[in-house]
Chains A and B, each alone.
Chain A
Amino acid sequence: MHIVVCAKQIPDPETPPAAFKIDAATNKVIPAAGIAPVLSQFDGIAAEAALRIKEAKGGKVTVISLGAESAQAAIKQVLAMGADEGVLLKDAAFDDGDSYTTARALAAAIKKLGDVDAVFCGRQAADWDMGQVGLLVAEELGWPVAIIAKGVEATDSGLKIQRVLADGFETVEMPLPAVVTVSNEFGDPRYPKLPQIMAAAKKTVTPWAAADLGLDAGSVGKAGARLQLQKLFIPEKSSKVELIAGDTPQEQAAALVAKLVADKTL
């Protein structure tokens, strides 16, 4: 079985709050000095799910990322975990896209690969947390999709997925080819073995631009985006402290209740 894992490189979610800054003029996150971007944690889990199926049933795993040159590191990380090949979709035309244009480019790459049986994505990217790309890739490819999986198993006829619902779990079976988004309930990604880290370091990542995918520059990136970002900002947290007057605890309590009633809190 040939599984594609879609992996995104994101700003480190563990960036200390004081170091996280936004450029209000361009509506963009300013990369924090000295803090390297990381692989989105859900995508690492999706890779783990794909690798377990590869180990059980054979086949190969290809990791695709759309992003800047630095996203090579995210691809190498999945290669070190045991993926076979890596593809980086890199083109200035892809910049400032939305979930839709990202999914369109990923789907085009998956079609170009040709023999793909399944696509595994993280349930959402840990930076924007939108959870759209997996669904939209399925839409572009016209494949069935199961989202927020906590268990993924290959059967003779397709995949058996255990999904996380708001009030429990459900198990579904789906034919191939299919798209699955994997949730953190699945478990932790593996720690790479050193021989694999060194093998991954030697592998070359295939770079594909929009033209390689047969995509018109006008249909991807900012030009093709349907979502307009209005304003990006860090919510201001403020707190006002008012001391309740009163000589005794009883008086203070009474004053507090009166205040809360006046504020319509009670």
Chain B
Amino acid sequence: MAESTNRPARPQRLVGAWWGPAVGLSALGFYASATLPADTPTREIYFNIPQGIWAVYVFMSALVGLLVYGFVRHSSLWSIGKPTPGVLRDVPQRLRNAIRLGMAQDKVRRDRYAGIMHWCIFSSIIVLTLVTAQVAIDADSPLDFLHGPYYLFFSFYGDLFGVIGLIGVGMALYRRYFAQMHRIRWDERLEDHLIIVGLGLVLLSGFFVEAARIMVTELEQHPDWARWSFGAFTLAKGLDVFGFEEHQLLSFHAASWWFHVSMAFGWLGLIVFTRLDHIFFAPINAFFLRTDSPGRLAKIENIEEQEVFGVGFIQDFTWKQLFELDACVRCGRCTEVCPANISGQPLSPMHLIQDLKAHLANVGPAIAQHRHETGDAGREVSPVALIGDVIHDETLWACRTCGACVQECPVMIEHVPTIVDMRRYLVMSEARIPATAQAALENMEMRGHPWRGTALERTTWMEGLGEVPIFDGSQDYLYWVGCSGSLVERNLPITKAVFRLVKESGASFGVLGQEETCNGDPARRLGNEYLFQILAQQLVETFKAKNVQKVITNCPHCFNTFKNEYPQFDGNFEVIHHTEFLAGAMQTGALKATHAVNANVTYHDSCYLGRINGVYDAPRQILELVPGANLTEMQRNLSKGLCCGAGGGNMWQEEVGERRVNHVRSEEAIGTGADQVISNCPFCIQMFEDGVPAIHPEEEGRMRPFDIAELLEKSVFGETVTAGEQSS
């Protein structure tokens, strides 16, 4: 995701995946084999298998036929989706994604064990396919190159990657059958066993074929050739102690050859019927991956002319959204990091994707048929409702839009836009929405903010701060306070702290006061795109009328919406979050943190500042520069940080499930032993204010949540402006 935008590039281990080591080994192999006496070592292709050549071509044709059949079958399902706007924009970036994320598998490696395992299997299949292809070329074309030093080297790396493949298979078998209940078994199917056991048998039988041939043709005649095939050679040595007759070895060789070849082609045939299709779909999906910010949801253009709002029928997804369903390998990484799932709430991104996929397979053909015959959308074709029957309402509402699933998905599925599309249908077409979320939306419509029942005004926070400059277009920065920063009691000290610090830094800035209105983020994430567009258009006009160029925001949600979503409404502003502004001011010396705060702190990355916008360093730089602040990181941090539970409009919803997300996260923060949990988001702060006392009921020694601006305020000024109020 946006990880790279704000972090120093880290050296990528295993970059280049399989071909990196392969190139190195090739060089070594060429060197070694070139030093050998050239007595033309080689072997007879199709040794002992006179019918082999036609068998291979029959198998090969069947496989190609199957792959074409599979592609046609799948593509007829994708094609019922809507057009995917902009899918051919930024082709160079998309190609880079296909190589980096698709072939080099950057995301797969986010889980170390799985990364090594997958590399072993992947590289082994690629190299052994090349090995087989060379055999075919050598046998069936005028080219004749499998002899001499290259043949020996060829034997060597063929065996090497066979062994590597077996190591990968071993790791996979261990994970599937011997590890504790693992995420890959959350949705286990017969095909999973077939794939891994099948691959193991293909590789093993390959070694047996080779060993049998070596025992007949090389073990005594050319042991120095045989050693290059070190895997099969070792096996042959082992089998040799049984003293088989040559005719026995030849029969065994033939039997294992047929077994090996039919298993290998059978296994490749699984691509069509099982999740092995990710071999093709994952890199293609990496190409289709959005190239703009993951914090941006698609705009519904001409919303007033739409027939159906959002997605309430499978054919209303874009074809890219349908395509990515087929890329899913059920690895469970998304579900493992999903805050709702971690808290026992009714959402598992993996199952959501799989349910959509199964629904598409069930009703897709009939819809395609109906389209073909009548030309209409076929929304009445499905006997079951997409939302309600296939995907439950509460599943959609449990999503925090935190992006952890999208971040972890090794095949680049984008779950969040898919979930929000379905919410859009619920809210705009069906008006089916949890009561508390509805109240927040109604409040935004009626009062321009989501905080129903607040007794505060947008100017209340200014009390006790002296003169607060109102933005009039002459200042450099607009300091955007936001609804939470002005209308929620707990956040006023944060707003005051940011104000004091920005002022202290000497920057020229002003605020909008009463003229602020909600920028629409909660409406968009709750699925009310119509309301969002109204609010966004209004605010873009206000900003333009006031000649706003640069905005400092208090809230990562305002930050994300201004930065990533307002350009959709021709609102292009330079937007920075207060953590970035304050870190910058400290680096230039405009702000000096002089007073020691003497606190053990832990830092919580809010999703919309961290994972979605890649701002990880600025807040940590501040913590480093504040004297006496001693940072202990939580285990889930940076791009793997866990949501506080409030995102995606869940600030205004009742949680259903075993636990509350903020209790889980508070427990993790308390587990660091810190006495303050520092964050950067008014929602996170409120979630910790609720969550910490629930986990740690005694007031004595309880950890307290603070915004990083509050901590810095103490260090810069010695005391917070609200210290008197807070202690009372």
Residues of A with Cβ closer than 8 Å to B? 12, 14, 16-19, 33-36, 38, 188, 190-195, 197-198
| CB-based nearest B residue for A191 | B431
Interface residues of B in 511-543 (CB under 8 A from A): 514-515, 530
CB distance from B425 to the nearest CB of A (A): 10
| CB-based nearest B residue for A187 | B435
Whether B430 is near chain A, meaning CB under 8 Å from some CB there, is: yes
| CB-based nearest B residue for A32 | B457
Contact between A194 and B428, CB atoms less than 8 A apart: yes
A251 to B452, CA, bound (A): 47
Known A19-B457, A194-B530, A195-B429; further 10 A-B contacts with Cβ < 8 A: A14-B447, A16-B456, A18-B457, A18-B460, A190-B431, A191-B441, A191-B442, A193-B428, A193-B431, A195-B309
Whether B455 is near chain A, meaning CB under 8 Å from some CB there, is: yes
| CB-based nearest A residue for B459 | A18
Are A17 and B455 CB-contacts (below 8 A) given A190-B431, A191-B438, A194-B428? yes
Whether B433 is near chain A, meaning CB under 8 Å from some CB there, is: yes
Are A191 and B452 CB-contacts (below 8 A) given A14-B447, A19-B457, A36-B446? no
Choose one: A19, A33, A34, A194; the contact of B309 (CB below 8 Å): A194
Q: Which residues of A contact B427 (CB under 8 A)?
A: 191
| CB-based nearest B residue for A188 | B435
Rank and list the top 9 A-B pairs by shortest CB-CB distance, nearest first. Answer: A194-B428, A191-B431, A193-B431, A16-B457, A191-B438, A16-B455, A34-B514, A194-B530, A194-B309
Whether B454 is near chain A, meaning CB under 8 Å from some CB there, is: yes
Contact between A198 and B304, CB atoms less than 8 A apart: yes
Contact between A194 and B429, CB atoms less than 8 A apart: yes
Q: Could you give 9 example pairs across A and B, Cβ below 8 Å?
A: A14-B452, A16-B455, A16-B460, A34-B515, A188-B438, A190-B431, A194-B309, A194-B428, A195-B309
CB distance from B283 to the nearest CB of A (A): 39
CB distance from B449 to the nearest CB of A (A): 10
Are A12 and B446 CB-contacts (below 8 A) given A191-B438, A197-B530? yes
A36 to B435, CA, bound (A): 23
Whether B453 is near chain A, meaning CB under 8 Å from some CB there, is: yes
CB distance from B181 to the nearest CB of A (A): 41
A193 to B309, CA, bound (A): 10
Are A33 and B447 CB-contacts (below 8 A) given A16-B457, A193-B430, A194-B428? no
Interface size on B, residues (CB 8 A): 24
CB distance from A12 to the nearest CB of B (A): 7
Q: Which residues of B contact A14 (CB under 8 A)?
A: 447, 452-454
Of A17, A34, A35, A36, chain B has the most CB atoms within 10 Å of the CB of A34
A153 to B515, CA, bound (A): 45
Q: Which residues of B contact A33 (CB under 8 A)?
A: 514
A190 to B435, CA, bound (A): 10
Q: Which residues of B contact A194 (CB under 8 A)?
A: 309, 428-429, 530
Q: Which residues of A contact B309 (CB under 8 A)?
A: 194-195
Are A38 and B446 CB-contacts (below 8 A) given A14-B452, A19-B457? yes
Interface residues of B in 437-476 (CB under 8 A from A): 438, 441-442, 446-447, 452-457, 460
A192 to B427, CA, bound (A): 9
Q: Which residues of B contact A195 (CB under 8 A)?
A: 309, 429
| CB-based nearest A residue for B457 | A16
Contact between A12 and B442, CB atoms less than 8 A apart: no
A10 to B205, CA, bound (A): 83
Q: Which residues of B contact A193 (CB under 8 A)?
A: 428-431
| CB-based nearest B residue for A38 | B446
Q: Which residues of A contact B428 (CB under 8 A)?
A: 193-194
A34 to B454, CA, bound (A): 15
Q: Which residues of A contact B431 (CB under 8 A)?
A: 190-193
A102 to B433, CA, bound (A): 36
Contact between B429 and A16, CB atoms less than 8 A apart: no
| CB-based nearest B residue for A197 | B530
Q: Which residues of A contact B435 (CB under 8 A)?
A: 188
Query: How would residues 77 to 115 of chain B score, 1 for a CB under 8 Å from any chain A CB and 0 otherwise?
Result: 000000000000000000000000000000000000000
| CB-based nearest A residue for B430 | A193
A74 to B468, CA, bound (A): 36
Of A33, A36, A191, A198, chain B has the most CB atoms within 10 Å of the CB of A191
CB distance from A83 to the nearest CB of B (A): 15
Of A16, A38, A188, chain B has the most CB atoms within 10 Å of the CB of A16
Q: Which residues of B contact A16 (CB under 8 A)?
A: 454-457, 460
| CB-based nearest B residue for A201 | B304
Contact between B457 and A191, CB atoms less than 8 A apart: no
Q: Which residues of A contact B457 (CB under 8 A)?
A: 16, 18-19
A153 to B397, CA, bound (A): 32
Q: Which residues of B contact A190 (CB under 8 A)?
A: 431
Q: Which residues of B contact A198 (CB under 8 A)?
A: 304
A14 to B449, CA, bound (A): 12
| CB-based nearest B residue for A73 | B446
A34 to B515, CA, bound (A): 8
A38 to B447, CA, bound (A): 9
A4 to B140, CA, bound (A): 88
Q: Which residues of A contact B453 (CB under 8 A)?
A: 14
A188 to B446, CA, bound (A): 16
Q: Which residues of A contact B530 (CB under 8 A)?
A: 194, 197
A38 to B452, CA, bound (A): 14
